[in-house]
Amino acid sequence: MKYHKITIDKNKYDIYEYDNIMLMNLTNHPCTFVDTWKKQKEEKDIILPPSGLVVRGFLKEMTIIKNNHYEISEPKYIGDYSVSKILDSIKEKYPNIIFIGSYKTAIAFPGLVYSMIPVSGAGSIVLSDKKMNIRKFHSFKPIN
């Protein structure tokens, strides 16, 4: 995996390149991937370290119905506008970069941050043992 260090507004961030895929891990922990497209005798883990930029989506509840007996709310995940500007700056330099984050973060930054998809059978295990597909991601906004 190739490594690139970029500076945006005096802050340094790490970007990694795997098989012509530019990736930036926006979580605070390393992510373990497997290349499901390459047939290998032995499965090799691909470790993507954190980039140095941690991005999160924050829950905001929107009340839909409220009466004397109950309340129904709709969860909305929102992102920080200043973070969007940083990601946009990075995207200008690396137009094909994939920003990787949690589901909440991907929902908060639709079409900009993508969530990871576990390989078959890895959906409900602890994070440290979870392996993700390095060639498949979820988007929460239609891609044009």
- The answer, yes or no, to whether residue 26 has pLDDT greater than 90, is yes
Pairing between β-strand 2-8 and β-strand 71-78 as defined by DSSP bridges = unpaired
Whether 23 is in a domain gets the answer: yes
Digit-coded pLDDT (tens) for 56-70: 998 999 999 999 999
Residue-averaged pLDDT of the chain: 87
For residues 29 and 16, give the distance between their C-alpha atoms in angstroms, rounded to a whole number. 15
Q: 3-17, 95-109, 130-144 — which one is most confidently predicted on average?
A: 95-109
The pLDDT value given to residue 9: 76
Domain assignment present for residue 125? The answer is: yes
The pTM (predicted TM-score) of the whole model is: 0.83
* Domain-embedded: residue 55: yes
Q: How many domains does the chain have?
A: 1
On the question of pLDDT at 36 being above 90, the answer is: no
* Token couple for 33: 């991937």
Look up tokens 């989506």; give the residue.
57
pLDDT of 88? 92
Residues 111-135 pLDDT 10s: 899 999 988 765 566 666 788 989 9
Please check whether residue 144 lies inside any domain of the structure: no
Mean pLDDT of 133-143: 83
Q: Is residue 64 part of a domain?
A: yes
DSSP 41-102: SS---EEE---S-----EEEEEEEEE-SS-EEEEEEEE--HHHHHHHHHHHHH-TT-EEEE-
Q: Is 46 contained in some domain?
A: yes
What residue numbers bound the domain in which 62 lies? Answer: 2-138
pLDDT of residue 81: 86
Structure tokens at 85: 């500007």
**Does residue 143 lie in a domain region?**
no
